[in-house]
Chains A and B, each alone.
Chain A
């Protein structure tokens, strides 16, 4: 048994480092802090020098980052560190592990790309690559090939795509004919085939955790606002019409969290099960944000108020890693097959 860290300790530590009353902290300072806190080691396998903790530990951190609208690219980072830790056939794996757990950032795409190229020149575009400006490499994990592409290699271009979500940065990466260095290709064929699924599973789980963390904060802020804002000589929060809407949001969040933490303890959860959770959690987040703006009234539409920050992040979460249409169809298909 390795170090046993209770999930609650991680929540506490993350809340201290990234309090929810300091929303959208500076990205570069955040990255330094998360490296110092050792969070990149949490899910790294023990024999690779990490803590080998389960999905629930990573989820605790992503949940807290969601609460504070965290800006450090922890979702791709924790996934790529895990992948590198599992890539025993990667040249100088130990060196890679050392680098990516002490501050070097390897990013990866959060949406399916169309990059092709059979061993030689890669073409196409890798969309939704977080924080490529601060990354050394992008991990390309198409079925059949897992490769680390240096972002400063000749031909590779990195283009920022400005987002509505102000708490995140996404880039398009085009390999532009770059041929992967054989030493940086983890594997081709079977072994690499499992990698994209695994990466994706970790990232969509993280998006679910991020979403429910964010949903919690925006509901708390909304309830606080309704307690202080007075109309008709009483706090708005005294009106039952508004109380019931807040209660419904609380029910949605509380119940979705139960599924999050139960699936977090289920290492053999299928892609459909994780995807179904992701679809549900992101839709809950999106709906809580939609209601939050309405419950704030006009001030909810102003830039100085926080509502829009959550609403924009929620809408992005809905799309990253596959949206609800995709995952629900898969869940439906598998449940249909299971009931054969």
Chain B
């Protein structure tokens, strides 16, 4: 009972703080990528000072030491208050933190973790043009020469890499044995000579991702996390650190944005169109389903009863609902939505329906595509037989 009281207290604290401090006009101020980056940097610093930026870090950090149940409360309130999403610091506070905290040396932790709170941002150098769903087949090559690794290759789909100070880099140090065994985990300074970043122009006009080209980039051996060849294990141990929190936040945001469809129905005078009302009603329940499964997933994690494949159900449910949300808006918006309008950065439910529709693909593709999730569900939850390995074409 007292645990619930504590959570309720935390909720009112966070709510009161957000009421007083949340950025109110951030959408209007985020019409360019640079402006959005500035919005995020300012907001992140405010959250750090208030003690709400890193609730999942250990207690020795300001605002750290929060239980998963408390983290959930903070995320819920931030989503309900419709604050900017922290896309820019996401990899830093989750993946970089988890990697350093769980597998880094004390020197690496002391060096990098305080800097994250000061605003240093990280990107992920994992995917490659020929290593997407099959990540373990990555080819970016690192050769050991004395105290450094010399790295050559290309990375892609790195979120916000054009603004990042550092990179969590997976490289190939050996081609012998199983492909997973030759992967090593390095920490790279994005200002190192030989690093070129090229933003990827997406179809909706956003540049959320970038390519990273590495041309004889030298990375000191002291910047390696774990042993040489242990990179796959390090990546797997830390990839899932935020499991569930992001999707809960995004589901709440999407449910909270149902009014955008209502606005469209009114604008077009369709309030008495039974067909339109049904489609809207169907969507509203679908959004309720997405929030309920995201909630349940986190509750199960809090209780320690998460099952294999559960996260895949959450992801595919959210991704489908997000697509359907944008499709209904697009349909009801009519021809108007085919005329170009300014986009809002950093938000998935903006009411610019073509942009929202195009953005929704990020969630059916990134972070393990719908198809990868289906395979996990079929094999791990339904126990369906695996395909034989080594097809010969």
Contact = CB atoms under 8 A, between A and B. Distances in A.
A247 B284 contact: no
Interface stretch (B153-161, B162-170, B271-279): B271-279
B147 to A, nearest CB: 46
Given A238-B385, A279-B285, A280-B285, A332 B317 contact: no
Q: Is the interface of A mostly helix, strand, loop or mixed?
A: helix
Interface string A250-286: 1100111011011100000000110011011000000
Contacts of B279: 328, 332
A78 B282 CA distance: 28
A262 B285 contact: no
Contacts of A99: none
Interface string B367-393: 000010111011101111111100000
A333 interface: yes
Using C-beta atoms within 8 Å of the partner chain, give the interface range for chain B: 35 or more
A332 B280 contact: yes
Given A251-B317, A254-B313, A332 B278 contact: yes
Interface in B307-323: 310, 312-314, 316-317, 320
A258 B298 CA distance: 12
Contacts of A259: 285, 288-289, 292-293
Given A258-B292, A262-B296, A335-B262, A247 B278 contact: no
Using C-beta atoms within 8 Å of the partner chain, give the interface range for chain A: 35 or more
A339 B263 contact: yes
Given A240-B375, A335-B262, A336-B262, A279 B282 contact: yes
A232 to B, nearest CB: 12
A335 B284 contact: yes
A255 B284 contact: no
B317 A246 contact: no
A277 B385 CA distance: 33
Contacts of B373: 247
A223 interface: yes
Q: Is the interface of B mostly helix, strand, loop or mixed?
A: helix
A331 B290 contact: no
B89 interface: no
A226 interface: yes
Contacts of A197: none
Nearest to B265: A336
A253 to B, nearest CB: 9
A327 interface: yes
B384 A262 contact: no
Contacts of A262: 292, 295-296
A212 to B, nearest CB: 12
B281 interface: yes
Contacts of B320: 251
B258 interface: yes
A209 B182 CA distance: 50
Contacts of A152: none
Nearest to B376: A247
4 nearest CB pairs, A to B: A331-B281, A332-B281, A332-B277, A339-B262
Interface of A: 223, 226-227, 234-235, 237-238, 240, 243-244, 246-248, 250-251, 254-256, 258-259, 261-263, 272-273, 276-277, 279-280, 324-325, 327-333, 335-336, 338-339
Given A273-B288, A329-B274, 9 more contacts: A246-B384, A250-B381, A251-B312, A279-B281, A280-B289, A328-B278, A328-B282, A332-B281, A335-B284
Interface of B: 258-259, 262-263, 265-266, 271, 274, 276-282, 284-286, 288-290, 292-293, 295-296, 310, 312-314, 316-317, 320, 371, 373-375, 377-379, 381-388
30 contacts: A227-B383, A227-B384, A243-B384, A244-B375, A247-B374, A248-B316, A250-B381, A254-B310, A255-B293, A255-B314, A255-B317, A258-B295, A259-B288, A259-B293, A261-B296, A276-B288, A277-B285, A279-B285, A325-B278, A328-B277, A329-B281, A330-B281, A331-B282, A331-B285, A332-B280, A333-B277, A335-B258, A335-B280, A335-B284, A336-B277
